[in-house]
Amino acid sequence: MNNEHDIGKSAEDFSLESLRAGDRVEFSRLMEANYGKIYRLAMKILNHSEDAEDVLQETFLKAYKHIKTFDGRSKLSTWLYRIATNEALMMIRRRRPDMFSMDEPQETEEGEQEPVQIVDWSYVPEEKLMSSEGKAYLDQAVDRLPYNLRVVFLLRDIEDLSTQETADVLGLSETAVKTRLSRARLRLREDLSNYYGERLERQ
Amino acid sequence: MGQHEHCREMLGSLSDYVDGSLNKGLCEELERHMADCENCRIVVDTLRKTIYLYHEANDSVSIPAGVRQRLYKRLNFEDLLEQVDDQ
């Protein structure tokens, strides 16, 4: 149960009863614990700060309105991620219908891209890889992923959700999550290998 | 890597492998293959490093000033802005 004296509260340490009863103070605690994560996720999906803020606000408006229907089977944060991801993807669909496809044409192993860049940059010191330019490149590489791969990558590898939680958030099978994660990671590896490989050669 | 048919077959397993969630049989097969295939070793090492870098670089998105206030305002929660600890 909630203990008001417990300072190190986890994101899940909320009274569902109070939340379902519409307790605003409890709901604002839920917001405090999650708004940063939701904003960052939206920002990484959309790469647009105003849109990310819209998604953030819509997410908590909907959550507040529908918290009575939250069944408690998933974590509250997973439920919020689901609302936020849907909002973000709807926004993309509205604004850039040409760009959007949540379905991938082929789900077979044939769809894996073969690695082309075979450069071993894994031993390069981290401070070199993570220069401010390097960090910016990491973000750009994610932006180049198609949305269906990008969202899976962000939830699994950036937000640290499990395969099952990611599947729940996106309404996909666990197999589809694994396949998309694999593709996303291999594409990013390829992209980073191009980038870091070139820099290694110049030195 | 293209000339190695085996590398192609292994490709779909690498992501599970670096997560430690690949089944034992495939895991052993992949490790046997990597013992003789430098290219696949490099792909696995750089794949692992790629995931690690993203993990380390997280939180690089800072939250602009005002986002929290506007969120509270949108929900008509302004009266709670001061009461809740800004963690």
Domain boundary among A98, A124, A157: A98
pLDDT tens by residue, A184-193: 999 999 999 9
A77-92 per-position pLDDT tens digit: 999 999 999 999 999 8
pLDDT of residue B36: 93
A149 lies in some domain: yes
Q: Is A82 on the interface with B (CB under 8 A)?
A: no
**pTM, entire model:** 0.86
A181 contacts in B (CB within 8 Å)?
15
Is pLDDT at A112 greater than 80 in this prediction?
Answer: no
Res. A104 pLDDT band, cuts 50 70 90? very low
Query: Do A116 and A94 share a structural domain?
Result: no
Query: Is the residue at A24 inside a domain?
Result: yes
Helices and strands in chain A: count of H runs, count of E runs: 9, 0
Phi then psi dihedrals of residue A74, to 5 deg = -105, 175
Q: A37 and A80 in one domain?
A: yes
Q: What is the mean pLDDT of residues A59-77?
A: 93
Kindly state whether residue A8 falls inside one of the protein's structural domains: no
The Cα A164–Cα A147 span in angstroms is 19
Q: What pLDDT score was predicted for residue B76?
A: 95
Rounded (10°) angle between helices B24-36 and B38-57: 120
Crossing angle for the helix pair A24-46 and B67-74, nearest 10 degrees?
Answer: 120
What's the longest Cα–Cα distance across chain B? 66
Residue B5's pLDDT band, with cuts at 50, 70 and 90, is: confident
Q: Is the pLDDT of residue A55 over 60?
A: yes
Number of H helices, E strands in chain B: 5, 0
User: Could you give the percent of chain A with pLDDT greater than 90?
Assistant: 67
Say what the ipTM of the complex is: 0.87
Span A107-125, mean pLDDT? Answer: 75
Chain A nearest CA to B5, separation (Å): 11
pLDDT greater at residue A44 or residue A9: A44
Query: How high is the mean pLDDT of chain A?
Result: 86
Residue A13 phi, psi dihedral angles, 5° rounding: -90, 65
Return the DSSP state at A72: S
Q: Residue A76's pLDDT band (boundaries 50, 70, 90)?
A: very high
Q: A36 is written with which tokens? A: 């940063």
pLDDT value of position A111: 59
- Whether A133 maps to a domain, the answer reads yes
Which among B15, B46, B57 has the least Cβ separation from residue A135? Answer: B57
The average pLDDT across B80-84 equals 74
Given a cut of 60, is residue A48 above it in pLDDT? yes
Residue A12 pLDDT > 80: no
Please check whether residue B64 lies inside any domain of the structure. Answer: yes
Beta-carbon contacts of residue A122 (< 8 Å; ≥ 6 apart): B42, B45, B46, B48, B49
Q: A119 CB near a chain B CB, below 8 Å? A: yes
Residue A203's pLDDT is: 66
Q: What is the CATH number of the domain that holds A133?
A: 1.10.10.10
- The total of structural domains in chain B comes to 1
Residues A59 and A90 in one domain: yes
- Distances from the Cα of B77 to the Cα of A13, A16, A143, B82, angstroms: 21, 19, 34, 10
| In-domain check, residue B85 | no
SS3 B69: helix
Total structural domains in chain A?
2
Top pLDDT among A162 and A6 is at A162
Confidence of residue A71 (pLDDT cuts 50, 70, 90): confident
Q: Print the domain residue range for A186.
A: 111-202
Q: Is A60 exposed, middle or buried (0-12, 13-18, 19+ CB in 10 A)?
A: buried
For residue A82, give the 3-state DSSP assignment. Answer: helix
Q: Are residues A159 and A189 in the same domain?
A: yes
Residues A88 and A123 in one domain: no
CB A185 within 8 A of CB A154: no
Of B15, B45, B64, the CB nearest to A182: B15
Tokens matching residue A75? 């974590």
CB contact under 8 A, B71 and A118: no
- The CA-to-CA distance between both ends of chain B, in Å, stands at 49
Question: What percent of chain A shows pLDDT beyond 70?
Answer: 85
Residue B48's domain comprises: 5-80
B17-70 residue pLDDT tens = 999 999 999 999 999 999 999 999 999 999 999 999 999 887 667 899 899 999
Side-chain half-sphere CA neighbours of A60 within 13 A: 31
Residue in A19, A31, A44, A86 with CA at minimum distance from that of residue B70? A31
Residue A160 has phi, psi (to 5 degrees) of 65, 30
Last-in-domain residue among A40, A69, A98 = A98
Q: What does the alpha-carbon distance between residue A4 and residue A48 come to, in Å, rounded to a whole number?
A: 37
Q: Is residue B70 part of a domain?
A: yes
Q: What does the pLDDT read at residue A72?
A: 87
